Structure 1
Amino acid sequence: MGQWRRRRRDPPALQGPPSETSGAPSAESQVPGRKHNICMVSDFFYPNMGGVESHIYHLSQCLIERGHKVVIATHAYGRRKGVRYLTNGLKVYYLPLRVMYNQSSFPACVHSLPLLRCVFVRERITVVHAHSSFSCMAHDALFHAKTMGLNTVFTDHSLFGFADLSSVLTNAFLTVSLCDTNHIVCVSYTSKENTVLRAALHPEIVSVIPNAVDAADFTPDPSRRQDGRITVVVASRLVYRKGIDLLAGIIPELCLKHPDLHFLIGGEGPKRRVLEEVREEYQLHDRIHLIGALEHKDVRGVLVQGHIFLNTSLTEAFCMAIVEGASCGLQVVSTRVGGIPEVLPEDLITLCEPTVQSLCAGLETAIARQRSGSVSSPTSIHARVRSLYTWENVAERTEKVYDRVAGEEVLTMHRRLLRLRAHCGPVAGSFFALLAVVDFLFLLFLQWLIPDQLMDAAVDATGPHGLWRPDQVMDAAVDATGPHRLWRPDQVMDAAVDATGTHGLWRPDQVMDSAVDATGPHGLWRPDQVMDAAVDATGPHGLWRPDQVMDAAVDATGPHGLWRPDQVMDAAVDATGPHGLWRPDQVMDAAVDTT
């Protein structure tokens, strides 16, 4: 019970206006150099593909390299259940939670508490980092982590409106979920403003840490481009939010003006039918190529075939796609929405209003630059993007957030209930305060049923005490053949060298060689020890002797025949003779009795 009594200071949102230095955390509130046990929680992770999934994976890998212990909790995907290990010992818990809609699990706080508590206790988690406003599992994890007295961090990857019903409900739920969260991370300054307004947060507890791209996976290859044409590449989900209706209006107009213009579109979604109708109506089958769904490993192979990358999104918090396109050396044309203007320098992107006319004008400008040869080389564009966004920088900045929240106290249950009522209103606040009390009582019951001290601690695969360390495991690409290889030729059997060489581990005098030892003077298979069908079966020492087997030509009809006429039925004699078994008075003879 002592762990639930830790306290933290109220965020400035409830203390009045901050001072001039409130944006910088005090030295006492930070714990630099500390190694954390982190649990990333989200409904969205591999094998599902997307920006959130990629962000969680790459951030986790970089945090592991910096010495932290990282585990991931997500819901089960089909037959992928239980615990799985990924690169560098990254442990993933695929929990048996029911999926409600669009890979988001059902919001059942009571049901998820036993599972998440087991993960948090066994892995000795100190920081719970939840991702995505769309993930119910992420909000459940924040709720339970606060009940258990753990520090919490939330990363928002999306932008929301304020008018439609879906946004109103999501914003209300986000307000409850983030009102007592230690720190929030957004991927752009536009996203920060959006989140602060939606959840009524103080800007001091919200940081901006952008996404990144693994530049080694998105290198340019101009040789893949086809001469005599200009190719525009689109890679996104074919849904309304990605502006596919705008794309459908752009294609016919530009294809009519530029006979050498082709569109290469990768992605899948309900708006695919709109593009197919445009292709049919304007007979553009040879100029519009719909690839369909793309795996992440195949995206680069599509991007390098193009000259221009087009993004028509209606809302984006960051947009990883345009960074990947620029990394492959393409000109980028995009709508000016959300946090996109913050992502790339002005000379690497052409920004347009989300209208067909503006996007057509932007593409016309990019096409003119491409034909005149006034664009930068793909290699130089890749080099600039490579220096702008790296996952190592993202991990370093996220680590500072963990150090900050590690020095903060966690609200007691009493203060947490007061915060919910004060921040969320008398109705919603009272309801979620009651839910927090139920969650706390259920936690006490679980602790009585299975005390924390009786739950076995999991073996650390990563972190400062990790047993699976990079310098102790076999890396097929590096350690197996490099100067510090763990698999050395003098310690293992090499079929090409050690098996037949001077120091071969398989020596002819120790194994049976069918070409030499089987028939040679020292052969292990000797004629006097095996049965030779050509010699021993019929010779004087034959194992198959005529007097021990039945000879059908001799014994069947001879004086010693085993088949004797008086023991078998002879159809020619016994059927009609005095001892015939078939007698005329017992059978019907058609030739006699009928006439």
Structure 2
Amino acid sequence: MRILMISDVYFPRITGVSTSIQTFAREFVAKGHELTLIAPDYSAAGGESAPEPFEVLRIPSRYLVIDPEDRMLRPREIRRLDGMLASRGYDLVHIQTPFFAHYLGLGIAKRLGVPVVESYHTFFEQYLHHYVPFVPTAWMQRLARDFSTAQCNAVDALAVPSHAMLEVLKSYGVKTPATVIPTGIELVQFSQGDGARFRNSRGIPPGRPVLVHVSRLAFEKNIDFILRMLVRVKTQVPDVLLVIAGEGPAHRRLQTLANHLGLADNTLFTGYLERDGSLEDCYCAGAAFVFASKTETQGLVLLEAMALGVPVVSTAVMGTKEVLAGGGGSLIAEDDETDFADKAVRVLTDPALRARLAVEAVEHARSWSAPVLAERMLQFYAQVIARRVRNQATDPALDPTPKTDDVV
């Protein structure tokens, strides 16, 4: 199978979407399929990515005003690829993000005469208003719902990371055929980490109690809740340290909040960490991984921590509820700072509990292996392609001949 993906974001820009694309793409190639990814070129900003086992076509892009970390692909540069893409014989286009890549991907699929699948990675109703604060929240949420519905109904099929997110889309009025396929994790990569090495590199004493949080530092990640919760943990574990790994638009505000709460000596912001052992070491430096996002369509970081044997303390909302189903390897907290803090303190102060959760966490993570979930996605692709062929056989108006004169 020949697959063409397009996304508004990819490494070196670190997000869950980047990780999902990379995980699936590497597995597809390992299974003998061909894959091309169209993604922004970050070289002007000094960003470079490591070589991949699949083709990455980097497209010149512009900054987005509302979020300078993101990019807007240039349509004219995409059109210049038309001849080359048409010669490749792609079977399907997979759109990974809902911004310009969505419309560009639809145009490419139409010109190539192939079906298009889209992944719905982000819960925009609980996301968009953080980036346009001067517009009433209710207006932005309504806009996000209408925006998502229109886009989802414009493609042939949807891949959704969790049942909770799928139910939300159905409530919007999305009618497009959809299936739930989470992103798997590379169990080999997340099988070992050296917490002592991370502590030594950051000057953290071996016996200091540490909690770890890994995510993009974005407003919708609810990290301010984690900081307020830490104030309560500190009353019982005075030398606790929260390591926050990641970068993003909320970084400055979070640091200001930490200082305001008297947590300057109890927080360590590391910035982005590479997946070359540095991130894995960071996870393993903690007695527990803490997470409280309410907008996750899945929550890959929870699985990464668990695969490394790090117990999780987290709320269970949307996608995280499904990741943590069964409770193995985790303590599920209420959306309440006191309850969350109590559970974090339990893990920090009870070695036997911590050891039991660590064993359970590794076992739980095994059921989310990348090869298994990649095979599910490939089967989904095959179903979408077969449905297109059937529809073309019954409706002569559906001409599969590639178009070269359509405008994106």
Shorter-chain TM-score: which interval?
0.7 to 0.9
Q: Given the alignment, which residue of 315, 328, 341 partners 1:347?
A: 328
* Cα distance in 2 between the residues matched to 1:296 and 1:221: 11
Which residue matches 2:182?
A: 210
Q: Match of 2:121, as an amino acid?
A: H
Q: Which runs of 5+ in 2 are unaligned?
A: 127-136, 200-204
Partners in 1 of 2:79 and 2:144 — Cα distance? 25
Among 163, 171, 195, the alignment partner of 2:145 is 171
Give matches, 1:12-411, under 5 Å.
Answer: 36-79=1-44, 86-88=51-53, 90-101=54-65, 102=67, 104-106=70-72, 111=76, 114-133=79-98, 135-161=99-125, 164-198=138-172, 200-201=174-175, 205-221=177-193, 224=196, 227-277=206-256, 279-281=258-260, 284-297=263-276, 298-344=278-324, 345-368=326-349, 370-371=350-351, 373-376=352-355, 380-381=359-360, 383-409=362-388
Task: Provide the C-alpha distance between the structure 2 equivalents of 1:340 and 1:75, rounded to a whole number of angstroms.
Answer: 29
The one-letter amino acid paired with 1:43 is D
- SS of equivalent to 1:87: coil
Structure 1 equivalent of residue 133 of structure 2: none
Q: Distance in 1 between matches of 2:319 and 2:396?
A: 33
Matching of residues 469-484 of structure 1 within 5 Å: none
Displacement of 1:306 in angstroms is 0.7
**TM score, norm. by length of structure 2:** 0.81
User: What amino acid is the match of 2:187?
Assistant: A
**1:138 aligned counterpart, secondary structure:** helix
SS in structure 1 at match of 2:37:
strand
The whole-number CA distance in structure 1 between the counterparts of 2:274 and 2:260 is: 30
1:464-522: CA deviation from partner (whole Å, max 9, x where unpaired): xxxxxxxxxxxxxxxxxxxxxxxxxxxxxxxxxxxxxxxxxxxxxxxxxxxxxxxxxxx
Question: 1:303: Cα distance to partner?
Answer: 1.0
Change (3 A) 1:43 1:321: same
Which has the higher Rg, Structure 1 or Structure 2?
1
Query: CA 1:288–1:80 in 2, change beyond 3 Å: closer, same or farther?
Result: closer
Moved more, 174-183 or 162-171: 162-171
Could you say which residue in structure 2 is the equivalent of 1:443?
404
CA pair 366-214 structure 1, distance change in 2 beyond 3 A: same
Q: Indicate the residue corresponding to 2:131 in structure 1.
A: none
Give 3-state SS (helix, strand or coil) of 2:303's partner: helix
- Alpha-carbon contact 2:28-2:35 (below 8 Å) kept: yes
Q: Which secondary structure does the structure 2 equivalent of 1:374 belong to?
A: helix
Taking the aligned partners of 2:78 and 2:244, their CA distance within structure 1 comes to 43
- 1:406-425 aligned within 5 A: 406-409=385-388
Q: Cα 1:328–1:417, aligned 2, differ >3 Å: closer, same or farther?
A: same
| 1:173-194 deviation per Cα after TM superposition (whole angstroms, max 9, x unaligned) | 3333332422110011111112
1:324 Cα offset (Å): 1.1
| 1:72 Cα deviation after fit | 0.8
1:227 and 1:64 mapped to 2: Cα distance? 41
Q: 1:132 & 1:445 partners in 2: Cα distance?
A: 22
Quote the Cα distance in structure 2 between the aligned partners of 1:165 and 1:416.
42
Q: 1:112 and 1:442, CA in 2 relative to 1: closer, same or farther beyond 3 A?
A: farther
Distance 1:391 1:290, change over 3 A: same
Query: 1:544 maps to which residue?
Result: none
Segments of 4+ in structure 1 off by > 6 A? 415-418
Check conservation: 1:80, 1:94, Cα contact below 8 A.
no
Q: 1 CA distance for matches of 2:242 and 2:406?
A: 60
Which amino acid in 1 is paired with 2:405?
L
Q: Count the aligned residue pairs.
A: 379
Q: CA-to-partner distance for each residue in 1:251-276, whole Å, 9 max, x for gaps? A: 22221222242222222334434443
Cα pair distance change 1:290/1:341, threshold 3 Å: same
State the AA in 1 paired with 2:183.
N
Kindly indicate whether the alpha-carbon contact (under 8 Å) linking 1:183 and 1:206 is maintained by their aligned counterparts in 2: yes
- Find the aligned partners of 1:146 and 1:405 in 2 and give their Cα distance: 15
Query: Contact 2:312/2:329 (CA < 8 Å) preserved in 1?
Result: yes
